[in-house]
């Protein structure tokens, strides 16, 4: 698919397959074309050329649209409504029966932590509360696919954790989640697959469960680390250095980590923790996008 706005190319050449039942992370710098891509997949924006299929039907198909949940990046709700009224409206628009909605609305309000605010009008909601009701409206009709465009941007740490749990629960019930997010640490622990979008084009994709294919940086906290034990790591590592109780190393792949742990333990080291160095997805992102890229 391609989308031009005047002579500005928003999405150059989007070609994407998202496995059903998985959590898919769609990553890219500001202005890369992520939100435009989602809107094309929903049928809200008409591609300049190309087409997309969602659940086997052309993007925008009304019957399929009812099976889709969407939390937009910039949302505006009818803000004179209470959260329950807003959920009822969205549920009805998706064709839900009144009885089903009566049962489901309190469950959803509870899920997103808004039960104490049920009598407020959405107008008086804080940014994070808006995002929570936005998430609830995206899920009210138990959609098969959920598009979330930066669902955690306004949320506190508890809210972020809640979104993470909610996303995983959606996968558990068999739904597919398409997630736009700049919070790579969240993406890293939530998504099954990611694609990197740069200047309107997918430039890389990664299966986050694939083990053993690339070098991993690991930080080990241990006592009784002998210089011989460190020297003995050579078969499995390309670099290893110790500072106090912290051993930092680059393992050839995650497959070798069990050997490393056995080797260290056998040498008499007491291991307290072994943590893959944080932000590896961030490193990858920066490498793919190029560090000097401005808008
Ligand atoms: N309605 C529009 N009219 C004109 N240009 C637009 C429109 N919507 C998006 N664009 C342009 O298309 C490009 C891609 O925008 P898009 O919102 O898809 O990016 P994004 O990847 O979602 O960015 P962000 O991470 O900042 O949300 C940008 O250059 C933007 O200015
Ligand atoms: Mg966007």
User: Which pLDDT tens digit goes with each residue over 87-100?
Assistant: 999 999 999 999 99
Is the pLDDT at 292 greater than 80, yes or no? Answer: no
Is the pLDDT at 295 greater than 60, yes or no? Answer: no
Going by CA atoms, what residue is nearest to atom 27 of ligand 1?
Answer: 30
Cβ-contact 95, 73 below 8 angstroms: no
The fold of the 216-282 domain, in CATH, is Alpha-Beta Plaits (3.30.70)
Going by CA atoms, what residue is nearest to atom 11 of ligand 1?
Answer: 10
With 0.85 as the threshold, say if the pTM is over it: no
Domain boundaries, the chain: 3-207, 216-282
Cβ-contact 139, 69 below 8 angstroms: yes
- Residues touching ligand 1 (Cβ under 6 Å) are 5, 8, 10, 28, 30-36, 73
Q: What is the mean pLDDT of residues 259-283?
A: 87
pLDDT at 211: 56
Q: Of ligand 1's atoms, which has the minimum distance to the CA of residue 28?
A: 21
Q: If you measure from the C-alpha of residue 32 to the centroid of ligand 1, how many angstroms do you get, rounded to a whole number?
A: 7
Q: What is the mean pLDDT of residues 109-114?
A: 94
Mark 193-212 as b/e (b = at least 16 C-beta within 10 Å).
bbbbbbbbbbeeebebeeee
CB contact set of 146 (below 8 Å; sequence gap of 6+): 68, 69, 70, 71, 138, 139, 170, 175, 176, 177, 178
Cβ-contact 45, 39 below 8 angstroms: yes
Going by CA atoms, what residue is nearest to atom 14 of ligand 1?
Answer: 33
| 3-state SS class at 72 | coil
Is the pLDDT at 281 greater than 90, yes or no? Answer: no
Give the model confidence (pLDDT) of 177-235 as tens digits: 999 999 888 898 899 999 999 999 999 998 888 754 677 889 999 999 999 999 999 99
Q: If you measure from the C-alpha of residue 50 to the centroid of ligand 1, how many angstroms do you get, rounded to a whole number?
A: 18
pLDDT at 282: 83
Q: If you measure from the C-alpha of residue 121 to the centroid of ligand 2, how many angstroms do you get, rounded to a whole number?
A: 27
The fold of the 3-207 domain, in CATH, is Rossmann fold (3.40.50)
CA 123 to mean position of chain CA atoms: 28
Q: If you measure from the C-alpha of residue 167 to the centroid of ligand 1, how many angstroms do you get, rounded to a whole number?
A: 25
């Amino acid at each position: 698919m391609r989308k031009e706005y005047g002579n500005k190319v928003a999405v150059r050449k989007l070609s994407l397959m998202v496995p059903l039942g998985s959590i898919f992370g769609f990553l890219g710098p500001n202005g890369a074309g992520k939100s435009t891509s989602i809107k094309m997949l929903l049928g809200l924006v008409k591609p300049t050329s190309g087409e997309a299929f969602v659940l086997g039907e052309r993007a925008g198909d009304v019957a399929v649209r009812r099976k889709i949940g969407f939390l937009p990046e910039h949302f505006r709700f009818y803000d004179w409504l209470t959260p329950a009224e807003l959920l009822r409206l969205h549920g009805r628009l998706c064709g839900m029966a009144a009885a089903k909605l009566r049962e489901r609305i309190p469950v959803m309000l509870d899920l997103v932590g808004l039960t104490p605010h049920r009598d407020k009008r959405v107008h008086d909601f804080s940014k994070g509360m808006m995002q929570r009701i936005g998430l609830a409206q995206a899920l009210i009709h138990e959609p098969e696919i959920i598009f979330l465009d930066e669902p955690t941007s306004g949320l506190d740490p508890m809210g972020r954790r809640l979104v993470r749990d909610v996303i995983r629960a959606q996968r558990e019930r068999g739904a597919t989640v398409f997630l736009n997010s700049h919070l790579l640490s969240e993406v890293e622990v939530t998504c099954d697959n990611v694609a990197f979008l740069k200047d309107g084009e997918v430039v890389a994709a990664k299966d986050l469960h694939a083990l053993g294919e690339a070098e991993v940086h690991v930080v080990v906290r241990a006592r009784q680390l002998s210089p011989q034990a460190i020297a003995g790591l050579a078969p499995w590592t390309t670099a290893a250095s110790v500072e106090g109780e912290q051993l930092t190393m680059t393992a050839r792949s995650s497959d070798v980590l069990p050997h490393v742990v056995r080797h260290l333990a056998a040498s008499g080291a007491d291991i307290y923790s072994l943590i893959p160095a944080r932000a590896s997805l961030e490193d990858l992102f920066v490498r793919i996008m190029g560090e000097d890229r401005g808008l």
